[in-house]
Chains A and B, each alone.
Chain A
């Protein structure tokens, strides 16, 4: 079965610094990839998604992610973070073995804390 690894459970950074949140998945079979953000006690909001085509995907709030098929990675980046980016970020991948593209497998999340 597909699995997703978010390599850092917590990432502290200073305001206006760049940040990268790392995500690796297990299967190199054709997949769809997503990054979601969750603010405390709220649901998840889609930041961006990769379906096909250009490996660099731009999303909301200035975030972008790069799909690397050979390394089975989909790392999220932002060149300059704000205090308001403090949240938990989840990487999700469609599962080609179970449920096809109708099911997602989520990583355990990375808590990004932006300090002044």
Chain B
């Protein structure tokens, strides 16, 4: 069953703790993306990666870190430096080449108190 898996669906953490969100795909897509979604703000790009062992900052990378050690996996760490981490986080993937759309995972809702 092909697709994008994000786990867990809901995540709760205390302020000051780092937390890692998982994104796994078996679509054999080259590029992977992390977005943050807040009510009324649309989707904002955090990081993206077009190939293994390489990634680029998006528009709101401060307080976040990523790795791309395998084509299938692109975990996102929300560090304690992120001032307002509570949000809905979406992972997306895409085949290389301009005409292909991004495919989205089901999302992880992170709540930090």
Contact = CB atoms under 8 A, between A and B. Distances in A.
Contacts of B98: 32, 94, 100-102
**What bracket does the count of chain B residues touching chain A fall in?**
20 to 34
User: Which secondary structure dominates where chain A touches chain B?
Assistant: mixed
Contact of A106 (B4, B31, B40, B42): B42
B99 A101 contact: yes
A102 B106 contact: no
Contacts, number: 55
Contacts of B45: 103-104
Nearest to B102: A104
A49 B56 CA distance: 25
A9 to B, nearest CB: 7
B43 interface: yes
Given A44-B43, A90-B43, A102-B98, 8 more contacts: A9-B40, A42-B106, A43-B104, A46-B101, A90-B42, A94-B98, A100-B98, A101-B97
Interface of B: 4, 31, 35, 40-45, 48, 50, 56, 58, 88, 90, 92, 94, 96-99, 101-107, 109
